[in-house]
Structure 1
Amino acid sequence: MTTTHPTGTREAWLTARLDLLEAEKELTRRSDELARQREALPWVRVDKTYRFETGKGSASLKDLFDGRSQLLVYHFMFGPDYQAGCPSCSAIADGFDGFAVHLANHDVMLTAVSRAPLAKLNAYKQRMGWTFPWASSVDSDFNFDLNVSFTEQQQRDDSIEYNYRRGGHAMDATPVPPPVVEFAAACGTDAPTYSRDRPGMSAFVLEDGVVYHTYSTYARGLDGLWGMYQWLDHAPKGRNETGVWWHRHDEYAKR
């Protein structure tokens, strides 16, 4: 069988590769500049009191730093009515244990936060074999204030603002896209309930006893955290997607 992809000599490949290298270097330089802009964002003081349930007991936002001056929070989609964590968030979280230890030894604490009760989070964490910290914000406004959780009223009023804009996200589309229905079923709930929680990542800093919010990103802004996609982007066929192909890591053998 003859491949449908263009083929050529090693010399032709090298010429094309050197052109691509220049484009890759430009992307790297642009990424470095974006990182500088991200660091230059003004810090916003967090005066509101938030409480979380953790493996160490009730905790404040300051407690989540665990002795470090910086805190990265992954907003993991696991609502109170879910029976299991979001498969997409689970794929991202599969990489946390590997680099959390390095971050912790570089003055950065990584934790996940979800609205599900701590018992549900701990049971799912055990199932997945994870060890990274995971806090419950079930009785807190934290997720709502960081724009990763929304109320039924906001859904009815079509007033959800996610990723710094109102509407326009797949979870808010009508009719509901098949992947949203599929993921909701995988979490043991329906699409509207599933969609009241969204993924995101937020950064905080602790300075002179004061916590500041420094950054949040959502939706495609999380692409860099998907370890598997960074590898696929270097694979011969790229992401090669025609729909939802990933599952929780303990479910592949069952398919």
Structure 2
Amino acid sequence: MKHTTGTREQWLSERLALLDAEKELTRRSDELARRRQALPWVRIDKPYHFDTEEGSVSLAGLFKGRSQLIVYHFMFGPDWAAGCPSCSMIADGFNGFAVHLANHDVMLWAVSRAPLEKLQAYKRRMGWTFPWASSAGSDFNPDFNVWFSEEQQRQGAIEYNYRREPEREWRAGQPGGGIEAEEKLAASCGTDVAAYSRDRPGMSAFVREDDVIYHCYSAYARGVDGIWGAYAWLDRAPKGRNEAGIWWRRHDEYGNG
């Protein structure tokens, strides 16, 4: 299908109208940011421990002296051979801005259920430098609604992105519901669809005041689109995201057929 063409004058007229809409969206985005920051803080008293390159640390230890902490819930199960490719594409952007956040009183961490050794090996493969902690053995992932048990899955008792998901029978080859895409993603991680679907992506923000830690904000599913850096660029490309199924791969897998 051929796209509409026109004169420079026609383009400028429509571009100026679009500019007004973009400015309104920017103002709306600023207002949403203020509403996020105005949410009530919820005190966290439960002890969480994480395995890091510097040893076992508490949630407070992840702050590394800052007053704010942002966690990206990176999908990487204990038995997986590799991290989730979509999480990997998001995390490709962390290297560049993590240092800026750290020098603006905000620590950024990725946290996954896989053991630290697996995370470190995958981190080396991807060439990443941002901090990554293992939550293996803790309740951190289920408590923040980014991992669910087989029983929850079988019973249709998964509540993700602030809603109860409909019950679904998880089996390889089930038609419909994007199962083919899920099978492709699961296989790329060395796991099956059911196990892959029990881990979920998300991000959570915390603050520390007077040695007390509070949970401030969490977002899931398409709520993390805003931190998926490539999408912001694609949304400004002539053909947009131009998605037909799963097109992205880990950055070292392009050109592999």
Normalising TM by the smaller chain, what interval?
over 0.9
The aligned amino acid for 2:144 is L
> Which residue in the other structure is 1:215 paired with?
217
Structure 1 residue aligned with 2:119, among 100, 118, 121? 121
Alignment of 1:67-106 (within 5 A): 67-106=65-104
Distance in 2, matches of 1:47 and 1:171, equals 36
For the residues of structure 1 that align with 2:81 and 2:237, how far apart are their CA atoms? 34
Q: Please tell me whether the aligned partners of residues 81 and 193 of structure 1 are also in contact (alpha carbons under 8 angstroms).
A: no
- Cross-structure match for 1:206: 208
| Structure 1 counterpart SS, 2:198 | coil
- When the two structures are aligned, how many residues end up with a matched partner? 253
How far the C-alpha of 1:96 sits from its partner, in A, is 0.2
* Alpha-carbon contact 1:83-1:187 (below 8 Å) kept: yes
Give the % identical residues: 70
Structure 1 counterpart of 2:135, which letter? S
Q: What TM-score, normalized to structure 2?
A: 0.95
The equivalent of 1:240 in structure 2 is: 242
1:179/1:130 Cα in 2 relative to 1: closer, same or farther (>3 Å)? same
If the length of structure 1 is used for normalisation, what is the TM-score?
0.96
Structure-2 separation of matches of 1:135 and 1:78 = 11
Cα deviation digits, residues 207-248 of structure 1 (max 9, x gap)? 000000000000000001111110000001111111111000
In structure 2, the partner of 1:226 is 228
1:64 aligns with: 62
- Choose the corresponding residue for 1:130, options 116, 128, 131: 128
Q: CA deviation at 1:73?
A: 0.0
The corresponding residue for 2:48 is 50
The amino acid that maps onto 1:238 is G
- Amino acid in structure 2 at the alignment position of 1:147: N
Output one character per residue of 1:18-50: Cα deviation in whole Å (capped at 9) or x when no partner: 110011011001000000000000000000000
Asked if 2 retains the 8 angstrom alpha-carbon contact of 1:100 and 1:110, the reply is yes
Q: Which runs of 5+ in 2 are unaligned?
A: none
Flag the 1:23–1:91 CA change in 2: closer, same or farther, 3 A: same
User: 2:165 aligns to what?
Assistant: 167
Q: Which runs of 4+ in 1 moved over 3 A?
A: 168-176
Q: Which whole-Å CA distance do the structure 1 matches of 2:95 and 2:23 have between them?
A: 30
Counterpart position of 1:38: 36
Tell me which amino acid in the other structure corresponds to 2:104. H
Cα pair 1:114 1:135 within 8 Å, conserved: yes
Q: Secondary structure at the match of 2:90?
A: helix
CA RMSD of aligned residues (A): 1.7
Given candidates 7, 26, 29, the residue that maps to 2:27 is 29
